[in-house]
Structure 1
């Protein structure tokens, strides 16, 4: 389907030129909604395959609004069927629902319904579907994807690239989509936060049914996903990628302290700019950087914040007046030893003091005191540290509805085969991204590599065949050690190095300006225009060799 640019969406239907199409959003293969249409839109609607139009907008809602009868006459003259089912926003009646059900039953499909924004048409369709179990919205989807983040959108696009006729539903409540790897750069003053955000509608593939609701449970024995309103979505294949939960409440005092009194985090869209302001204005004192127990999103991000802050302070000539401390709950600086020597050079250059097995357990923002649980030769003890600025990374766990579901492993994450990403007990369930139990690093680069593998294996499962592709655990962590240089960590299961480039071009174990160019300039468009569009540049799925 064709979607309008943001500029076109803001223009009244009466002002759109011929060929400019409003924002059509399919809810499934039989039904789509849109804002107010213009007469000039009708040929494009026909070209997109629609057989009928339903107008859900009462005449006279606003000055200059085109009458439903005019649209109906023009539509039928060009071969489309038309129905006028007006409903008042916020006051939909049982009679409206009955009229909508009648129109849906008698009109040829696919059908496009419109109102002022598309919201009433969507609501009417949902009400009809909830009252009629045999309605199209209540049918079994070929594939249901839980989560419209990086992993979910990439998987949907990779599936549609291979089979455009698949009936795919994506369950995602958020209206916003974020390029989260960019938040480190926002905190460093390199990116503006708006650079990392688009609307969910901009990234949602046109041919999927977007269910704007939150999942609240899985019923894999019945092939159902339970939504937060109690309704159900049925599937032949489930792809679960609902992300990870940032557990701000796990550290007493943190939820109240974050975003003020020098307490910040690059793990939030609205918090990363505060990091930038704190670092820019910091002239001396104690700066703490923390890392919780694994797993977390992008294990290198906590120290990236430290390196980029120190580099700015170094350039400003104030680094010698700052006591920099890195507190990590882990026993090593980085989990893959090959990258540690280069990182240690920067730790020494910036004079940062490393505190291993030191876990943040409480924070008093007003008093500017952080409490750590620290292991040493005498056991575990609590230590209070004063701070003037602290960058905190919250503990991270599987979403609540995942941890309590039949799909969960002992870890709380969705239990999958690490190679095929197929659930170990439910063969028609796959999981990827931050919510799955695979031991890879939880990074966007990992999801980019996983999505094509899951797509190939989902298509095999739909045909009753075993998985056809496998995943090697690839993950990438561009460790921003200074503005302009990056240690490009790329590795798979077991810490095996998996470089994407020859060593003469980029030696990932050494800081590189070319790697910075990759992070700063190349990766964002690859994300928006490659990964989310099903373009599998450098991540083609690896085929499983048939046994002989």
Structure 2
């Protein structure tokens, strides 16, 4: 009820403004030259860059969470190789100093009036807006969840509340089916659902339990991985380690009390299959942020509608987007965000000077496919699904060095480079390492 009242309050102030004022700046309680929505990797790194571009006093970030998490490391947390504590830091410690932190949730975006309303009824007006609200997890779209997580033997690396349950289920595994799922929606880090399968397989071998385990990967996709070069290597690993991969299988129900998972066959509507599990890792269905979906900023599917070359909104030139909330046709990863920060920074600097954006985003994204406790295949590719590799070696091979990068180098680069607005992806280094030929 309180939330409903706040929402009404928000709407009523909006009506009052339209009646009495022409300028949103005059009427809003707070005004910023640059307003950033979301304090995840895209929001924090862009606010650091905007602070340098236009001064801390002109920048505000709307973010309700007290903790900021480096989510890519949760794959290793779920497999017991890292602690969940190592993945988080207080939001206050990553927020650029001097930038205004609005500790609220975005309730409504009105790009026609250049205003944003928060859940406590505060209205903020802006000259420019960066939307970095991420996507939403929908465990509730699977029957029996999220309440099923109260039972043992089931976990999910996609949430801070459930990632340690994955490790517990893996440790307690005795014999039977270890089942891993990939939903029938866009997801962030599309490699993560299978990374935990490879790590679980490695753990079961290490502890002598593999002979009594059936390791099953049920994916809604028609392929194991979207880029053929890397998929070919992954299929080799799957065959070599005797992993069972079932394509076009979508998890629709979890009966946690019976340890049963129900899958639908996407190629044969109405056909379902029940699999008993000793361990279940759930990748939840995901979708666009509901605030964006309910605003004029969304495309037909509910994602933020931006120009794929420069990240400027297609209909509102003073609005920009970054990361998982956008409709950019590339994989939703932290590496993509890093590359996008450099492009978006350049785009905004040009727009502020009334010039045309001149730097083009090639869709660069990366997925370090963890295949064991000491090997990684570093997949890097562009909008066209073509490999766009940083190192002058074949990155489709499993390598120890790449595991070290994933586990030790990348977190350091994240906290001390990306979040401070100092790391814009490996583009310049790729040119250097390939002697300017890429």
TM-score w.r.t. the length of structure 1 is: 0.71
Q: 1:334 aligns with which of 225, 245, 252?
A: 225
Change (3 A) 1:166 1:458: farther
Describe the SS at the equivalent of 2:93.
Answer: helix
Shift of residue 394, structure 1, vs aligned partner:
0.4
Q: 1:215 aligns with which of 100, 106, 115?
A: 106
Provide the rounded CA distance (Å) in 2 between the counterparts of 1:375 and 1:163.
Answer: 50
CA contact under 8 A between 1:237 and 1:462: conserved in structure 2?
no
Describe the SS at the equivalent of 1:361.
Answer: strand
Shift of residue 342, structure 1, vs aligned partner:
1.3
CA contact under 8 A between 1:261 and 1:368: conserved in structure 2?
no
Aligned residue in 2 for 1:414: 304
CA contact under 8 A between 2:367 and 2:378: conserved in structure 1?
yes
Larger Rg: 1
Describe the SS at the equivalent of 1:254.
Answer: coil
Shift of residue 380, structure 1, vs aligned partner:
4.5
Aligned residue in 1 for 2:122: 231
Residue 524 in structure 1 maps to residue 411 in structure 2: yes
Provide the rounded CA distance (Å) in 2 between the counterparts of 1:222 and 1:428.
Answer: 12
Q: 1:497 aligns with which of 387, 394, 410?
A: 387
Aligned residue in 2 for 1:282: 173
Bigger shift: residues 412-421 or 468-477: 468-477
Describe the SS at the equivalent of 2:419.
Answer: helix
Structure 1: gaps of 5 or more residues = 1-132, 543-548
Shift of residue 163, structure 1, vs aligned partner:
4.1
Aligned residue in 2 for 1:48: none
Describe the SS at the equivalent of 1:494.
Answer: coil
**Which protein has greater RCO, CA pairs closer than 8 Å, 6+ apart?**
2
Describe the SS at the equivalent of 2:82.
Answer: coil
CA contact under 8 A between 2:198 and 2:372: conserved in structure 1?
yes
* Root-mean-square deviation over aligned CA pairs: 1.9
Provide the rounded CA distance (Å) in 1 between the counterparts of 2:183 and 2:27.
Answer: 46
CA contact under 8 A between 1:181 and 1:444: conserved in structure 2?
yes
Residue 174 in structure 1 maps to residue 65 in structure 2: yes
Provide the rounded CA distance (Å) in 2 between the counterparts of 1:139 and 1:280.
Answer: 51
TM-score w.r.t. the length of structure 2 is: 0.89
Shift of residue 347, structure 1, vs aligned partner:
1.0
Provide the rounded CA distance (Å) in 1 between the counterparts of 2:349 and 2:426.
Answer: 18
Aligned residue in 1 for 2:326: 436
Provide the rounded CA distance (Å) in 1 between the counterparts of 2:188 and 2:136.
Answer: 10
Describe the SS at the equivalent of 2:180.
Answer: strand
Shift of residue 401, structure 1, vs aligned partner:
1.2
CA contact under 8 A between 2:338 and 2:424: conserved in structure 1?
no
Aligned residue in 2 for 1:397: 287
Residue 388 in structure 1 maps to residue 278 in structure 2: yes
Provide the rounded CA distance (Å) in 2 between the counterparts of 1:253 and 1:216.
Answer: 28
CA contact under 8 A between 1:259 and 1:274: conserved in structure 2?
no
Shift of residue 367, structure 1, vs aligned partner:
1.1
Q: 2:340 aligns with which of 443, 447, 450?
A: 450
Aligned residue in 2 for 1:487: 377
Describe the SS at the equivalent of 2:151.
Answer: coil
Task: Give the alignment of 1:74-113 within 5 angstroms.
Answer: none
Shift of residue 259, structure 1, vs aligned partner:
4.8
Residue 315 in structure 1 maps to residue 202 in structure 2: no
CA contact under 8 A between 1:449 and 1:541: conserved in structure 2?
no
Provide the rounded CA distance (Å) in 2 between the counterparts of 1:480 and 1:219.
Answer: 42
1:158-205 C-alpha deviation (Å, 9 max, x unpaired): 223344466111010111100000100101111111000000000000
CA contact under 8 A between 2:37 and 2:130: conserved in structure 1?
yes
1:353-398 C-alpha deviation (Å, 9 max, x unpaired): 111110001111001111111145x554111111111100000001
CA contact under 8 A between 1:259 and 1:271: conserved in structure 2?
no
Provide the rounded CA distance (Å) in 2 between the counterparts of 1:265 and 1:213.
Answer: 27
CA contact under 8 A between 2:262 and 2:272: conserved in structure 1?
yes
CA contact under 8 A between 2:329 and 2:363: conserved in structure 1?
yes
Residue 138 in structure 1 maps to residue 29 in structure 2: yes
Shift of residue 469, structure 1, vs aligned partner:
2.1
Describe the SS at the equivalent of 2:225.
Answer: coil
CA contact under 8 A between 1:297 and 1:434: conserved in structure 2?
yes
Shift of residue 294, structure 1, vs aligned partner:
3.4
Structure 2: gaps of 5 or more residues = 1-23, 430-438
CA contact under 8 A between 1:490 and 1:499: conserved in structure 2?
yes
Change (3 A) 1:134 1:523: closer
Provide the rounded CA distance (Å) in 2 between the counterparts of 1:538 and 1:134.
Answer: 36
Change (3 A) 1:370 1:262: same
Aligned residue in 2 for 1:74: none
Aligned residue in 2 for 1:154: 45
